[in-house]
Structure 1
Amino acid sequence: MKKITITGSLGNIGSNLTKILVAQGHNVTVVTSNADRTADIEALGANAAVGSVSDVAFLSKAFVGADAVFAMTPPNLGGTNIIQNTVNAGKAFAEAFVQAGVNKVVMLSSVGADYDNGTGPILGLHHIEAIYRELQNVDVTFLRAGYFYTNFFNDIPLVKHAQIMGGNYSSEANLPLVHPKDIAVAAAEELNTAVTGKNVRYIVSDVQQPKNYAKVLGSAVGISNLPWVQFTDEQALEGMQQAGLPQEMAALYTEMGQGINSHKLTDDFEKQGSPVTGTIKIADFAAEFAAKY
């Protein structure tokens, strides 16, 4: 049995990871910023640590005695200064690892984190990877995940009202995709594996072109041959803002689309042989999309 602390509360990854680790007999602590999640965490057989991931003192206390930590910075730390806020959270994690004496970390990162520009919100993860690489006597696995299937839920209004899917990247781009459950499985494996140094592992469930996954998801909701429309950068930016996304975040997602077109997001993944180790394919996820629809 190990003592493992995981961050990310009970989100799509955290809830599944907690269940796996508890079932394996580990002593699990789940970090959450929401005290209302305490009962849900305890119902899964884990302990709750309530506080801010930007608070070094709190994180250090949550990490003390842990044999391993799953480090996941929040995906949207405010509507402004998003990259810097993300990096600052990573710095807080790193300082807490040192103060608490943590020597094994599994970090949730992303495809494209190898680039220092042109990747939108992924840039924050690039900087955090760099910070963690400088940690002495801390073994780190950078779990670089594909584009979450669950992000497709955001496309439901567009599908309903315009009967299209779209973005500012080509319908023929090869996009690595991942299901959060597959991330949880991979994270559990890495938390239980003795590896030394700093290592990268890609976790991808499927690689699909937008024109293909649009058809699969469209068919699941009764729309045959749902088309993928490539928007201009300006159209994508305006559309996301009209949907309620803050301007800064919309601009970052627009840049990420540009990164998909330029292959920055997939460059290193493809150099590593495009490894697909997840088991949940886009056709499997289509049932979840239809249920949400």
Structure 2
Amino acid sequence: MIVVTAPTAQIGGRVLEILLEQAPDEKLRVIARDPAKLADSVRDRVEVVTGSHGDAETVDRAFAGADAVFWLVPPDPRAPSLEAVYTEFTRAAAKAFTAHGVGHVVGVSAVGRGTPVAERAGHVTASLAMDDLIAETGVAYRALANPSFMDNLLRQVIPIREHGVFTDIVDADRAAPLAATRDIAAVAAGLLLDRSWTGTGEVPVLGPEDLSPNDMARIMSDVLGRPIRYQRQSIDDFRAAFLCRGGSEAMAQGLIDMMWAKDAGLDTGVARTPETESPTTFREWCAEVLAPAVGG
């Protein structure tokens, strides 16, 4: 039995699709706040536990009889602290892993452990603390150590479409790895189906190349057939915009600290090897994912 959390989210949803495709005989259970968001074809093939996977009673029901769990904490831009989003949200699940003898857990986390800036990296620091909490349970655990997601650009489809611009607060010429969420999901599904691994560790998913925002703009311009430029946003403007959308000060500062750490080399501390390189190039992702979204 494999339990998938966040099955309607970008990564969790793709993990579930892969498991259904590749292991039709595997028993699957999902935790969903709103099961109606699951496709009918999915609901017919999985067991659904309704609720939040941050809730003790929900995970207690969901993890009973589970061999493996895919763990992904949901974003919470209004949370009062980073600890509330990561370690506090995960605490009930960590207890349930032990109580129900769950053998293997695969979690979505971040690259950067061991770098000089990892302790001041906002969301990444909190994510690594979550990994430590899960590892302390004694479960076999693999943390998917991810850099920034290509798919984050989908949040900026409107300014890309209407103004030919995307923004961030990192240096325009800082090259760093990027990963497609579909590749992250594929690695997660492979680990969940294998389950021959033991102990705890990280599995970096680094994409095939390092790119700067200016590099990304050139590729986007080529694929979309129109000029796209990167505009570096000031920290004050970023904070104001985030708070205006209803986000909390703690979450805004967590993002600012994370992006500062990325500028300081957080994502470049792991070597790209055949084991850490994931296949989707940014050009492929732009053609297959971004272009249809912008065109739509």
Instruction: Sort the TM-score into its range (normalised by shorter chain).
Output: 0.7 to 0.9
Of 264, 267, 273, which residue of structure 1 is paired with 2:266? 264
Q: Could you give the per-residue CA deviations for residues 26-78 of structure 1, whole angstroms, max 9, x where no partner exists?
A: 11111111132355473462221111212122202211111111111112264
1:9 Cα shift? 1.9
Conserved? CA contact 1:241–1:247, under 8 Å: yes
Aligned to 2:10: 12
Of 218, 235, 238, which residue of structure 1 is paired with 2:237? 235
Q: Could you give the per-residue CA deviations for residues 255-289 of structure 1, whole angstroms, max 9, x where no partner exists?
A: 2211111112332x24x759643222111111221
Q: Could you give the per-residue CA deviations for residues 84-132 of structure 1, whole angstroms, max 9, x where no partner exists?
A: 2321112111111011111211111112355653222222211111112
| CA shift in 2, pair 1:129/1:149, >3 Å | same
Say if 2:102 is the partner of 1:102.
yes
Counterparts of 1:1-293 in structure 2 under 5 Å? 3-23=1-21, 24-25=23-24, 26-37=26-37, 40=40, 42-43=42-43, 45-76=45-76, 78-114=78-114, 116-136=118-138, 138-160=139-161, 162-193=163-194, 194-206=196-208, 207-224=210-227, 226-242=228-244, 245-267=247-269, 269-270=270-271, 276-287=276-287, 288-293=289-294
| CA shift in 2, pair 1:116/1:91, >3 Å | farther
| CA shift in 2, pair 1:18/1:103, >3 Å | same
DSSP 3-state at the match of 1:150: helix
TM-score, normalised by the number of residues in structure 1: 0.88
Conserved? CA contact 1:84–1:124, under 8 Å: no
Conserved? CA contact 2:78–2:247, under 8 Å: no
1:180 Cα shift? 1.6
1:201 Cα shift? 0.5
Conserved? CA contact 1:141–1:198, under 8 Å: yes
Q: Matched residues, percent identical?
A: 21
1:239 Cα shift? 4.0
Whole-angstrom distance in 1 between the partners of 2:293 and 2:249: 27
DSSP 3-state at the match of 1:76: coil
Number of residues of Structure 1 aligned to a counterpart in Structure 2: 287
| CA shift in 2, pair 1:213/1:204, >3 Å | same
1:248 Cα shift? 3.3
Conserved? CA contact 2:176–2:268, under 8 Å: yes
Whole-angstrom distance in 1 between the partners of 2:14 and 2:171: 33
DSSP 3-state at the match of 1:265: helix
Whole-angstrom distance in 2 between the partners of 1:216 and 1:116: 30
Q: Could you give the per-residue CA deviations for residues 111-166 of structure 1, whole angstroms, max 9, x where no partner exists?
A: 23556532222222111111122122x11111112212211012233334543333
For structure 2, which runs of at least 5 residues remain unmatched after alignment?
A: none
DSSP 3-state at the match of 2:183: helix
Q: What is the identity, as a one-letter code, of the residue corresponding to 1:221?
A: L
Conserved? CA contact 1:113–1:125, under 8 Å: no
Whole-angstrom distance in 2 between the partners of 1:97 and 1:259: 32
